[in-house]
Structure 1
Amino acid sequence: MPNSELMPIGVFARRSGLTPSALRFYADSGLLPPAEVDPTSGYRYYSADQVVRATVLRRLREIAMPLAGVEAVLGSGTDEAFRLLDEHVSKVAEDAAAARRKAAVVKSALGNVPSLPITALKGPVLADAVEQVLTATAREPGLPVLAGLRVEADHEAVTLTATDRYRLSTRTLVPAEPPARTWAGTVDGDEMRAAAAEIRRSPLVRLEAVPHGLRLRTAGREDRYCRSLTEEFPGHRLMLASLGEVTTRVTASKEPLLRALEEHPGERVELHVTARGVDVVSVDGEHPGIPLPATATGRDLRIRFELTTLYPAVSTAIGPDVLLDLRGDDQPVTIRSADRGDLTTLAMPTRPGHLA
Structure 2
Amino acid sequence: MNDPLFSRPWWRRQLFALFARLAPKHEGPPPPLPDHPRRVLVLAPVALGDYLVLSPLLSALARKKPRTEVAVVVTRTSYELAAVDTNVHRILLYKKLPAWPLSMIEIIRYKPDVVVLPKGHPAFTESLLLAVTHAPFRVGLSHPHHDALLTHPVQHDWEAEHRSESFVRLLAPFGIDPTSVSRRVHIGTDPEAERFAETVIRRQPPGEPVIALNISATQPMRLWPLDKWKALVRFILAERPNSLFFVLSAPAERPVAEALAVEFPPLTAVRTRRMLEAVAIVARVDLLITVDTGMVPAATARDVPMVAMYSGNHGAYTCFGPQTVAHRAVFAERGRPLSDLEPEEVYRAVRSLMMELER
Q: Does TM, scored on the shorter chain, surpass 0.5?
A: no
Q: TM-score, normalised by structure 1?
A: 0.26
Bigger radius of gyration, 1 or 2?
1
Normalized per residue, which structure has more strand?
A: 1
Task: Identify which of structures 1 and 2 has the higher relative contact order when contacts are C-alpha pairs closer than 8 Å and 6+ apart.
Answer: 2
